[in-house]
Amino acid sequence: MATDKQLSMAASAIALRGVRLFLSAGRNAMERRAQPAAEPAKHRPKPKPVVPGARPPQKVFDMLARTSKFNKHELEALYAMYRRLVTAAQGILPPTAIGQPPAKVDGIDQGTFRDVMHNTFDMITEEAILERIWITWDRGASGGEGALKFEAWVRGLSVLLRGTEEERRNHCFAVYDLNADGYITRDEMFVLLKNSLLKQPGDEDPDEGVRDLVELVLRKMDVDKDGRVSPEDYKDAVEQEPLLLEAFGQCLPSRRHALAFLKTLNPKPKDLRS
Ligand code: CA
């Protein structure tokens, strides 16, 4: 069994890997732009980046401490991470053709989101699934499909890392229900499973194998036998066989990666002194 020290080193390494990869990608992109750093930019006003403030309003912290599964220390750490990610993304947005400052994204953009899922949570899942997670992640009252603000970021991570059975199930179901009509149909299963299966070389009709698999899964999951999977079917099936929770692709980080990340949010007491 790993000691606490080993665990915490592994946790730091994982969290750092994500941020480091992300930051080095940003640096490379800036170098590719080949704007000599020495050139003074004092003649024109510097574009003002939309960088989140040092802290969100206290009432946001208070509300999230009540409604998410993170305590105040963890929320502070998540906010620092959020701020780092948004600030880094500002640096790598490509300039527009006519040299205007690029449009600023107020929050975590989709590319950054994908990188965090890949690098920090090791969710090497299909792009289609990551796209669905991005789309379905609750943006709260502000809504829209734009960047994730801090509140939405915390709510999403709360489900991913500490969600109840029901929250995790609702999350996966929403990802798989491609047209958001409340059912996972044969067609949706076909798309999802086809994406996640490797095609056998020399297969006459690879779709045939996927269709067989769809029927197999449907037989297990369509408990009320109406030819599609409702949230109730899904709940019954997953309760009987937990592996069916992610039958159509990985939507959640592994327990190991979730725990490792959570450890990085909880520094040892001596690190809390300021
Ligand atoms: Ca559907």
Each of the 274 residues of the chain gets a pLDDT tens digit; together they read 444 444 444 444 444 344 334 333 444 444 444 444 444 555 655 555 567 777 888 999 999 999 999 999 999 999 999 999 998 887 766 666 666 655 566 789 999 999 999 999 998 878 889 999 999 987 766 555 678 999 999 999 999 999 999 999 999 999 999 999 999 999 999 999 887 776 556 666 778 888 999 999 999 999 899 999 999 999 999 999 999 999 999 999 999 999 999 999 987 655 455 4
Beta-strand (E) ranges in the chain? none
CA of 229 to the centre of ligand 1 (A): 9
| Residue 33 within any structural domain of the chain | no
Could you tell me the distance, in angstroms and rounded to a whole number, from the CA of residue 218 to the centre of ligand 1? 14
pLDDT at 209: 85
pLDDT of residue 219: 93
Q: How would you label 229-249 residue by residue, b for 16+ Cβ within 10 Å and e otherwise?
A: bbeebbbbbbeeeeebbbbbb
95 phi-psi bin (left φ>0, alpha ψ -120 to 50, beta other): beta
Instruction: Examine residue 59 and state whether it is found in any structural domain, yes or no.
Output: yes
Structural domain contains residue 37: no
Please indicate, yes or no, if residue 9 is contained in any of the structural domains: no
d(CA 248, ligand 1 centre) in Å? 13
> What confidence score (pLDDT) does residue 201 get?
64
Count of structural domains within the chain: 1
Q: What is the pLDDT of residue 27?
A: 40
226 CA distance to ligand 1 middle (Å): 14
Specify the pLDDT at position 21: 42
**Residue 153 counted as domain residue:** yes
Q: 125 C-alpha vs ligand 1 centroid, how far in Å? A: 20
Domain that holds residue 128: 49-96+103-265
Inside any domain, residue 178? yes
pLDDT at 124: 81
Give CA angle at 53 (52, 54), nearest 5°.
120
CA of 228 to the centre of ligand 1 (A): 9
Q: Residue 208: which CATH number? A: 1.10.238.10
Domain assignment present for 111: yes
241 CA → ligand 1 middle, Å: 22
Nearest to 263 by CA among 137, 77, 20, 102: 77
Concatenated DSSP letters for 69-120?
S--HHHHHHHHHHHHHHHHHHHHHSPPPTT-PPPPPPSSB-HHHHHHHHHHT
